[in-house]
Amino acid sequence: MRRILALVAILLCLGILQNYSITASLSAARGQFVTVTWSVVKQALIVVVGVAAYWVCSRFKYMRWADIAELLTYGLGLLLVVVLIPGVGRSVNGSSRWLGTASIGVQPSQAAVMAIPLLAAKLFSGKYLNRYDHRYYTTFLVFVLGFVGLVAIEPDFGTAFVIAGSSFGILLVVGAPFSYWLSRVMAAGALAAVAVSLKSSWKVRMTSFINPLAADKAKGVAYQLVNSMFAVARGGVFGRGFMRSVQKFIHFPAQENDFVFAIFAEEFGLIGVTAILAIYLWIMVELFRIASRSTEPFARIYTMSLGVFLTVQALVNIGVVAGVLPTTGVPLPFFSQGGNHIVFEMAALGIVGAIARSPEAST
Amino acid sequence: MDKLQQAHQTRRLLAVTVLFTLLFAGIIARLYYLQVVKGSYYAGVADDNRLRIISTDAPRGEIRDRNGVVLATDVPSFDIVVTTYDLKNPEEELTVVAQLSGIKLATLQDVVKKAGVGPYSPITVARNVSKDVALKLAEREPDLPGIQLVMSTKRSYPLGTLAAHVLGYTGEISETQLQALRADGYVMKDTIGKDGIELQYESLLRGEKSEKLVEVDAEGKAIRTLQEQPAVPGQSLVLTIDSRLQKTCEDLLGNNKGAAIMMDPRNGELLALASAPAFDPNKFISGISDQDWKTWTAQGSLFDRAISASFPPASTFKVITGTAGLETHSITDRSIIYCGGGLTVGGRLFKCWIWPDAHGNEDIHKAYADSCDVYFWTVARLVGIESMDTYAKKFGLDKLTGIDLPGETTGFVPTPQWKLSKLNQPWYEGDTMNMGIGQGYVLETPIRDISIYSSIAMNGTLWRPHLLKASVDPVTKAETQTVPVVQDTLGVSTNTLNIVKKGLNLVTKTGGTARIQVGNIEICAKTGTAETGTPNLYHTWMVAFAPMDNPQIAVLLMYEDSPYQRSTSMAPLLRKMLAHYFDLYGGKNGSN
């Protein structure tokens, strides 16, 4: 557990530094020279709140979470519906993801990092899952389909993709029969293809991804993609050095959150990127190790599911920056600017902390 | 969970670990490809000074009248832009620009500093520079890296002062507006609607700017466009205005102060909405001379008297007094009131306008025809101030008509409570009588006055007055028609309104106060002469609608500090407005 915390701490610190690099340079470019921008202070405060969330969650007996897992699942479902109600949910850049005000808001979809692993742990623990009984898998998938659908309507294509992808990953690790798994993955793929072809805004994203450098009729969607590829390319092997990104000055629609990794790649190069990827992989391996050491099913499945979820999210974010996945807005776990995802991720990790502390799980 | 299951899961964990590791490796391979293999290509293009985002304004939507006459459009012009990164000697180069353009150096530096964009984004520092300046700058351009002349557009109002208050004008976005609108994509020096339709429908007219990602050479010249997001032109607007009728109205106002309105009572479409004195919106685009500005301020030229000014409605208010009398059963259409030329109330003699002559016995129809003050004083006294206020409010004096222009104000309905608290005086019977003939404290805007007559014409239904007839998509040419909206219903019986209408009809007949004849069309009209406080200086009103039984048009003419001593002298002018309308549109619907 200590190793995980150390790795997460590195990511959190790098996230704040990167935020500083971007916002300080941007404000300098606007003629305001400041040493510490408000954005950096806010990010640091969020990290403090995240650490507090970790601490609180790790103090509970982890089985308490099993008791309320169901409640949390339905609660999240309800919030995802509420966020869609015009006038209640707050719309930012055309998608209705937020509850609350502009300065302090909650993005319910980001709670999936807790809800999905908890739901998996609740459904798949304590039961003998034989290959002929698919009921629990199906129940899980039905819930997931509901979440994915609600999140996609917001629309938050990226988070929907992470939820769907990690859920299939979870089914794989908990031991769903391979043929069952493969058929459901294919069905989901077909469903997604139909949805994309029906909804033009999603279609635009897909086509802009396929040919980002072509004269763009997609009205700026491919912009961030092109710029992110340029940024990454400019990094080279060793990077241009901290605070030396040039690309960040050029129009970057989501430069202060989902694309920080592009700036990171420009400043730290292939070596820096490989290091970050290694950290995520390492965190996953550590979580899997805690899981496989544990004999208690809930603890075991929760921990491995969280490992899968975080890894998929990191993969999606970096895949987008590298131009191998369609443009979506997924934060990089523990790294990207923005309060919600860091707090929820730290809380989710807190449950692992509780698991690691309990004797029956760590033997 | 048994051991077997656990072992199965552990195997799966291993498999997933391997899978994710492979995916990560794939991404690293991809990044290696981007950063090392193709790196030189992308990095070359992306290198420090070779990518620019060039943003060009979208053409602003045209504004046309109902027959397609262009009222506002874009014409080509030149802008000066600065790319700070490319400046070799910022101070010197900006000094040259300052000398050529006549803009202060400090202003230019301030604009550059406050632009809020990165060093690679061009900043517009001057718009609509004259051809002369543009030519001189074009000559010097090779010596001025980072400074460019850009083709752009400026707003033009081909008909000059015509419908100036309706159209409004555009201008450079102000700093406070910019703070509020930055999220909508506005930047410094952007053009934005400042008044009138230009302001009201800014979001439709504006369009979306084009953005081009271009590769430039060492001189800052574009050599290749990597990506282009074409501009989306703003929507064209079709107004309800008929520029021919608008012209007639403005000619009638001439050099006087006042307002003239023509409105279709059946749907609220405004065929003309004029306010005088007017201004030339083109002068806002090219820069206003001090002298123009002084004249405009002195005359209140920018003030839209048709919707933003309220005046005592004088005798035009008598329709409300009469309606109140009939509806409260204080009178019937058979009640006779004797006019002896005056009325003594509270020891004071109130003189009818005909004093020292007299009207004699009057019923309501004849009272309208004669505009007899004694009759309506008596009605107001019978009705009482409370019901008078109720009916003034029913006719919407305290409400906005909802016209789609910025700056509308309401009229005013005085109450005893108001008088006590504001003027610290009790409400006298004389105040009620004064209100009965539209004098004293009661106020109306011209747009409200014509709305009142329109609702009477339509048996109690007021259609919201509006100017936007349709908006036209620039690409698909699809028109979005404005759907007329019922703004208010009077809640007054048709019988009452028919009595009032009959009275108003008599106004235009032989023996009435304003004889008007247009073919054989039955016209309803009312005049009004309001005291200004200055002896022998009046605000004069005249309002009409026709045909009586099948109303097609309502017209209003109003002079502030009128050239006429009596509103009845305006009858020929109003006849001109009606005649012009029926010339143009009468054939279609015929007379009654």
- How does DSSP classify residue B13? H
CB nearest B27 (choices: A169, A229, A319): A319
Residue B72 has pLDDT above 90, yes or no: yes
CATH of the domain at B221: 3.90.1310.10
Same-domain check for residues B187 and B250: no
pLDDT for position B461: 94
- Domain end marker among B177, B211, B239: B239
Q: Which of A227, A322, A226 shows the shortest CA–CA distance to A274?
A: A322
How far is it, in rounded angstroms, from Cα B250 to Cα B252? 5
Q: Which chain B residue shows the shortest CA-CA distance from A273? A: B28
Domain assignment present for B44? no
Enumerate the residues of chain B whose CB falls inside 8 A of the CB of residue A306. Answer: none
Pairs of residues, one from chain A and one from chain B, whose beta carbons lie less than 8 Å apart:
148
C-alpha A338 chain-centroid distance? 12
For A34-91, the pLDDT digits (tens) are 566 777 888 888 899 999 999 999 888 888 888 888 888 898 888 888 888 776 776 6
The arithmetic mean of pLDDT across residues B498-514, rounded, is: 92
B560 forms beta bridges with: B257
Q: Which of B137, B133, B123 shows the shortest CA–CA distance to B190?
A: B123
CB B428 within 8 A of CB B158: no
Q: Work out the mean pLDDT of chain B and round it to a whole number.
A: 88
- How does DSSP classify residue A159? H
Model ipTM value = 0.84
For A184-227, the pLDDT digits (tens) are 999 988 888 888 777 666 666 666 555 544 433 333 445 556 66
Same-domain check for residues B257 and B215: no
Enumerate the residues of chain B whose CB falls inside 8 A of the CB of residue A291. Answer: 13
B109 CB burial (10 A radius; 0-12, 13-18, 19+): middle
Same-domain check for residues B360 and B423: yes
Kindly write down the DSSP assignment for every residue of A47-80, as one continuous string: HHHHHHHHHHHHHS-HHHHHHHHHHHHHHHHHHH
Domain assignment present for B477? yes
The arithmetic mean of pLDDT across residues B547-559, rounded, is: 95
Domain assignment present for B10? no
The highest-confidence range among A172-186, B382-396, B563-577, by mean pLDDT, is B382-396
Structural element, H or E, at residue B92: helix B90-101
Enumerate the residues of chain B whose CB falls inside 8 A of the CB of residue A216. Answer: 227-229
Domain assignment present for B123? no
The ranges of chain A with pLDDT < 50 are: 30-31, 212-221, 249-256
Same-domain check for residues B156 and B250: no
Contact A174 B229 (CB under 8 A): no
CB A49 within 8 A of CB A339: yes
Q: Which positions ≥6 away from B101 have C-beta within 8 Å?
A: B80, B126, B129, B133, B137
Enumerate the residues of chain A whose CB falls inside 8 A of the CB of residue B116. Answer: 30
CB B125 within 8 A of CB B112: yes
CB nearest B45 (choices: A128, A174, A230): A230
B8 CB burial (10 A radius; 0-12, 13-18, 19+): middle
Task: Write phi, then psi, for A333 (nearest 5 degrees).
Answer: -55, 135
Q: Which chain A residue shows the shortest CA-CA distance from B231? A: A219
Same-domain check for residues B207 and B294: no
Structural element, H or E, at residue B542: strand B538-546
Contact A232 B35 (CB under 8 A): yes
pLDDT for position A243: 60
- Domain containing B337 equals 243-584
Enumerate the residues of chain A whose CB falls inside 8 A of the CB of residue B26. Answer: 324
Same-domain check for residues B228 and B311: no
pLDDT for position A126: 65
> Number of structural domains, chain B?
2
Residues 302-321 of A with CB under 8 A from B: 304, 308, 311, 315, 318-319
pLDDT for position A254: 41
- Domain end marker among B182, B209, B239: B239
How far is it, in rounded angstroms, from Cα A224 to Cα A339? 22
Residues 1-30 of B with CB under 8 A from A: 1-2, 5-6, 8-10, 12-13, 15-17, 20-21, 23-24, 26-28, 30
Per-residue tokens: B556: 């209003």
Same-domain check for residues B410 and B457: yes
Instruction: Indicate the SS3 state at residue B72.
Output: strand
- The alpha carbon of residue B450 is apart from the nearest alpha carbon of chain A, in Å, by 38
Residues 68-127 of A with CB under 8 A from B: 125-127
Same-domain check for residues B286 and B258: yes
How far is it, in rounded angstroms, from Cα B585 to Cα B581? 6
Same-domain check for residues B235 and B360: no
Kindly write down the DSSP assignment for every residue of B136-172, as one continuous string: HHHHHGGG-TTEEEEEEEEEE-TTTTTTHHHH--EEE
A326: preceding bond cis by omega (within 30 degrees): no
Domain assignment present for B357? yes
Q: Which of A192, A175, A191 shows the shortest CA–CA distance to A305?
A: A175
pLDDT for position B385: 95
Same-domain check for residues B425 and B546: yes
A155: preceding bond cis by omega (within 30 degrees): yes
Contact A281 B21 (CB under 8 A): yes
How far is it, in rounded angstroms, from Cα B203 to Cα B201? 5
Same-domain check for residues B258 and B235: no
B108 versus A361: the higher-pLDDT residue is B108
Q: Any CB–CB contact under 8 A between B53 and chain A?
A: yes
- Domains of chain A by residue range: 2-362
Domain assignment present for B419? yes
Residues 218-257 of A with CB under 8 A from B: 219-220, 222-223, 226, 229-237, 246-247, 249-251
Q: Which of B214, B244, B246 shows the shortest CA–CA distance to B49?
A: B214
- Domain end marker among B219, B239, B259: B239
Q: Which chain B residue shows the shortest CA-CA distance from A280? A: B24
The highest-confidence range among B129-143, B149-163, B451-465, by mean pLDDT, is B451-465
Domain assignment present for B61? yes
Same-domain check for residues B335 and B203: no
- The alpha carbon of residue A45 is apart from the nearest alpha carbon of chain B, in Å, by 25
CATH of the domain at B546: 3.40.710.10
Domain assignment present for B323? yes
Q: Which of B32, B53, B213, B224 to mutate to test the interface with A (most CBs of A within 10 A)?
A: B213
Could you tell me what percentage of chain B is helix, strand and coil, using 3-state DSSP and rounding each to the nearest 5? Answer: 40, 25, 35
- The alpha carbon of residue B183 is apart from the nearest alpha carbon of chain A, in Å, by 10
Quickly count: other Cβ atoms within 10 Å of residue A85's Cβ. 10
- The alpha carbon of residue B407 is apart from the nearest alpha carbon of chain A, in Å, by 28
